[in-house]
Structure 1
Amino acid sequence: QLFTDGITNKLVACYTDEGMADAVLVRVYGRKTELFVDRETELRNFQVLRAHGCAPDLYCAFQNGLCYQFLPGIALGPDHVRDPHIFRLVAQEMARVHAIHANGSLPKPILWQKLHKYLTLVKTDLSPKVSNPSLQQDVPSLEMLEHELAWMKETLSQLGSPIVLCHNDLLCKNIIYDGTQEHVRFIDYEYTGYNYQAFDIGNHFNEFAGVKEVDYRLYPSKETQLQWLRSYLQAYKQLTQGDQGGTGVSEEELEALYVQVNKFSLASHFLWACWGLIQDKYSTIDFNFLRYAKLRFKQYFKMKPVVTALQISK
């Protein structure tokens, strides 16, 4: 069975049993994805997550792909992620990944290095294209992109968001819900790495809008976000601090995380917009990457004044 939801790789399930009980997944990397995905790091992260019970069994890796265990359940859609029962499970599972220790080292967030890398790729690939009127219309100039990246780095790195092991690509379809076990698991670790806690959450909230048909009216309301963040913080504090002093979550903590998350959601729009421009040039997958990139840039500039106005109360 060929899965067609992915927009980075090709994915096939192989099985002999009709109920797919014996299924294994074979993933073949998309064309030129090595430009923005470090496959060795992906393998390492897969193994770390597996060791902590957060990933399926990995059977083998080959030069342009992986073979791993099939996780039973359903891949979530935009309706599921706003269901309080399911989103609490997602928040708790994210806390579990974020609580995985970095063996005593203090890792650097991969966000800035990734954004610089993507921007460099955009520069080299798009210089000839920038004179194209349809591109100029909704894609900012390279100077403007440089300016925005510098502004984000200056602003976001001062927010004090903890550096944790992040999935970094938690779109709905990367979450598998197993109704019999009542749990969720995350799949696809191509973008996994140490990053700002608030980026991972803000990126997930952006994904409430969907991928194929993006609708930002589906971005979670403040009320939904606060419920989600409370579940997350309770689980995260319990996992990282044990039960010392109970796992109460103060309103100040909640509000601070809400502000951090919404500010970091800008970096997520910027990152995937640049990614879309690169994919537009190289990918053989049937998806309108340029349209997607333009949508993400548009949302970035629309939300920038809104989230810039948010303040963490001292």
Structure 2
Amino acid sequence: MMAVKNENVSNGNEDHLPGEVKKLLKSLASSWGDVIDPNTLEVIPLKGAMTNEVYQIIWPTQTGEFPRKVLLRVYGEGVDVFFDRGDEIRTFECMSKHGQGPRLLGRFPNGRIEEFIHARTLSADDLHDPEISTLVAAKLKEFHDLDMPGPKDVFLWDRLRKWLKVAISLSSPEEAKEFCLDALENEIQIIEREFSVDNQLIGFCHNDLQYGNIMIDEDTRSITIIDYEYASYNPVAYDLANHFCEMAANYHSETPHILDYSKYPDLEERQRFVHAYLSSSGNEPSNLEVEHLLQEAEKYTLANHLLWGLWGIISDHVNDIDFDYMEYARQRFRQYWLRKPTLMSSSEASNDDCVNVVS
């Protein structure tokens, strides 16, 4: 999610770009033919990027009206623990072929150059706009229906267990106790056993559908979903749950790590989103279908809180930017323990000790 600062690039100064990146950018600019000087470019850091440092690169053109632009993505340090960079690149290239995102224009060892999408990134408030939310729901259904290469097995549980092992290995005894890390293997088993039903919808999921990963073209009202680092096959209800949980976040506020759960979508908002999601294929869903997927999504918020809680703990140890990862993790785990008794039918539905620890 949150980016790691890369000191090799600074605002407006191409001299700080690594030589191989400057060479690649120059080659791109030269190939277009309308750039005044391929060596004259502007570097603009883009705020709110997650996992990587992202920059807009601009060249003046001979017409002077429409400059050439690309997106420069510099991979963050220490984040390879969360995903396989090779898999992420293959997903990016495959998504480009499907016409689902920006084209890949060039690669270098610790980053890549992408097509610049002429659209704006959504804001936190946009997610609550009924029109935009409906457009996002339809686009998400299209995303889930993509036929992507590789195994189509649910990846959520393996990822949870992997991140738990990493979190335990990095945490001090005090941190492990605070977050009840020793209890989480059992928690994962419980929710996996209860949630893994035969009739759930499985699709290619984004798994990090926060507002910064969604763009809208104001003219055409078309939605583009970007940044596929965490994408994999999963229950679609989990992806909906992730999106709903992200509505509590505002990563551009003065306290970007603070989650405001009063912003979590109410029942009407969630019903509208799920209905728009199911009906986007052209078939009107029944009330029962809407309710079923809605209930599944609510349950999967528990898995989402666990996953991003672990992400927060790990990030505190591998990232060094000004973001309170531990407090973010604390809020996620708090929601897990508070919501679990009402969302689980299992008799193993409460753990008062852990609720008290994270309160």
Q: Which amino acid aligns with 1:300?
A: Y
Following TM superposition, by how much is the alpha carbon of 1:64 offset from its aligned partner in structure 2, in angstroms? 1.4
**Cα separation, partners in 2 of 1:21 and 1:250, compared to 1, 3 Å:** farther
1:33-77 Cα offsets, whole Å, 9 max, x none, are 111121111111112211222111111222211210111222112
TM-score, scaled relative to structure 1? 0.88
Q: Which amino acid aligns with 2:241?
A: G
**Residue aligned with 2:101, SS:** coil
Q: Quote the Cα distance in structure 1 between the aligned partners of 2:158 and 2:198.
A: 18
Rg comparison, structure with higher value: 2
Following TM superposition, by how much is the alpha carbon of 1:136 offset from its aligned partner in structure 2, in angstroms? 4.0
Query: 2:221 aligns to what?
Result: 182
Q: Quote the Cα distance in structure 2 between the aligned partners of 1:234 and 1:68.
A: 32
Q: Quote the Cα distance in structure 2 between the aligned partners of 1:251 and 1:118.
A: 37
Q: Quote the Cα distance in structure 2 between the aligned partners of 1:30 and 1:301.
A: 31
Q: Quote the Cα distance in structure 2 between the aligned partners of 1:251 and 1:223.
A: 13
**Residue aligned with 2:55, SS:** strand
* 1:30/1:284 contact within 8 Å kept: no
Query: 1:8 aligns to what?
Result: 51
5+ residue gaps in structure 1? 239-246
Q: Quote the Cα distance in structure 1 between the aligned partners of 2:154 and 2:112.
A: 26
Q: Which of 310, 326, 330 does residue 294 from structure 1 map onto?
A: 330
1:218-259 Cα offsets, whole Å, 9 max, x none, are 010111111111110011x44xxxxxxxx1210110000000
User: What percent of counterpart residues are identical?
Assistant: 33
Q: Which amino acid aligns with 1:181?
A: T
1:151-181 Cα offsets, whole Å, 9 max, x none, are 1111111273221111110001111111112
Query: 1:234 aligns to what?
Result: 279
5+ residue gaps in structure 2? 1-43, 347-359
**Residue aligned with 1:15, SS:** strand
* 1:7/1:287 contact within 8 Å kept: no
Whether 1:219 and 2:264 are equivalent positions in the alignment is yes
Query: 2:293 aligns to what?
Result: 257
**Cα separation, partners in 2 of 1:289 and 1:29, compared to 1, 3 Å:** same
Query: 1:34 aligns to what?
Result: 80
Whether 1:206 and 2:251 are equivalent positions in the alignment is no
Query: 2:341 aligns to what?
Result: 305
Over the aligned positions, Cα root-mean-square deviation in angstroms equals 1.9
Whether 1:68 and 2:118 are equivalent positions in the alignment is no
Matched ranges for 1:78-97 at <5 A: 78-97=124-143
Q: Which amino acid aligns with 2:287?
A: E
Number of positions where the alignment pairs a residue of Structure 1 with one of Structure 2? 294
Q: Quote the Cα distance in structure 1 between the aligned partners of 2:112 and 2:155.
A: 23
Whether 1:52 and 2:91 are equivalent positions in the alignment is no
* 2:215/2:225 contact within 8 Å kept: yes
**Residue aligned with 1:164, SS:** strand
Q: Which amino acid aligns with 1:4?
A: K
Higher relative contact order (CA 8 A, sep 6+): 1
Q: Quote the Cα distance in structure 1 between the aligned partners of 2:335 and 2:201.
A: 25
Q: Which amino acid aligns with 2:323?
A: F
Q: Quote the Cα distance in structure 2 between the aligned partners of 1:16 and 1:278.
A: 38
Q: Which amino acid aligns with 1:195?
A: N
Q: Which amino acid aligns with 2:133?
A: F
Following TM superposition, by how much is the alpha carbon of 1:284 offset from its aligned partner in structure 2, in angstroms? 2.5
Matched ranges for 1:111-150 at <5 A: 111-126=156-171, 129-131=172-174, 136-137=177-178, 139-140=179-180, 142-150=181-189
Q: Which of 138, 143, 153 does residue 192 from structure 2 map onto?
A: 153
Following TM superposition, by how much is the alpha carbon of 1:188 offset from its aligned partner in structure 2, in angstroms? 0.8
Query: 2:236 aligns to what?
Result: 197
* 1:77/1:172 contact within 8 Å kept: yes
Q: Quote the Cα distance in structure 2 between the aligned partners of 1:66 and 1:110.
A: 26
